Chains A and B, each alone.
Chain A
């Protein structure tokens, strides 16, 4: 099992450009998440999904869109990148057990720089 994979690993964008980050998991997990990690800020939830075709906003959703067309994939889109979106982005997935004891498993991250 590859677990949670993220594509690409690194990306540099110019302000105003768009891009999509891809997250894939092969654990048949129901729930998937996108976080960003900034220095001194910890992990902040951007959007999440509790099943195929569903998405919900997290703590910092502005400037991002997501889609979960297939159970195994969760896409994070930036329509018009801004320097404030320079960050490391992590995807995670969990079984979706319906209880609070649902451990999340993380991908290796995507380092995005917006100039």
Chain B
């Protein structure tokens, strides 16, 4: 049973517009959420995170929103740039410090110039 779900395998957005990537989770014990970005032939790199005590975290063009009641988080990229084209993974952890991250299957974002 998937605990972290990214229901959109792919997303295309025009350069300069907003990209919104969504993630849902089922485990109410999760209290920390991360987004990773992955380019082809490279390892995933950490992008942004949010703790369950917050509902928003912003870092430059990237903002993550958390809706705990809906068990939903989203990553907003504004404005989108061609270099943002990558696969984005949502991940979650919680319960104890030794609990490994649980990853979603990823969403491939294509930003079209």
Q: Say if the beta carbon of B9 comes within 8 Å of chain A.
A: yes
Residues of A within 8 A of B51 (CB): 101
Interface residues on B, range: 20 to 34
In the bound complex, do residue B49 and residue A101 qualify as a contact, i.e. CB atoms below 8 Å apart? yes
The DSSP consensus for interface residues of chain B is loop
Tell whether A100 pairs with B46 under 8 Å between CB atoms, given A40-B105, A42-B105, A43-B89.
Answer: no
B103 touches A42 (CB 8 A): yes
Contact B43 A100 (CB under 8 A): no
Asked if residues A109 and B43 are in contact (CB atoms below 8 Å), the reply is yes
**Given A109-B41, A109-B43, CB of A103 within 8 Å of CB of B9:** no
Interface size bracket, A side: 20 to 34
Residues of chain A contacted by B95 (CB below 8 angstroms): 100
**A-contact bits for B52-75, CB 8 A (1 contact / 0 none):** 000000000000000000000000
Beta-carbon contacts under 8 Å, A78-113 to B = 90, 92, 96-109
A108 touching B105, Cβ below 8 Å = no
Q: CB distance B43 to A4 under 8 Å?
A: yes
- Closest residue of chain B to A97 (Cβ to Cβ) is B97
A 22-46 binary contact with B (CB < 8 Å = 1; else 0): 0000000000010100001111110
Q: Which 8 A-B pairs have the closest CB atoms?
A: A106-B43, A42-B105, A98-B97, A43-B103, A100-B32, A100-B93, A106-B44, A100-B94
Other than A4-B43, A100-B99, give 16 A-B pairs with Cβ distance below 8 A: A40-B9, A40-B105, A42-B106, A43-B44, A45-B101, A58-B100, A98-B97, A98-B98, A100-B93, A100-B94, A100-B95, A100-B96, A101-B51, A108-B41, A108-B43, A109-B43
Interface residues of A (CB under 8 A from B): 4, 33, 35, 40-45, 48, 50, 58, 90, 92, 96-109
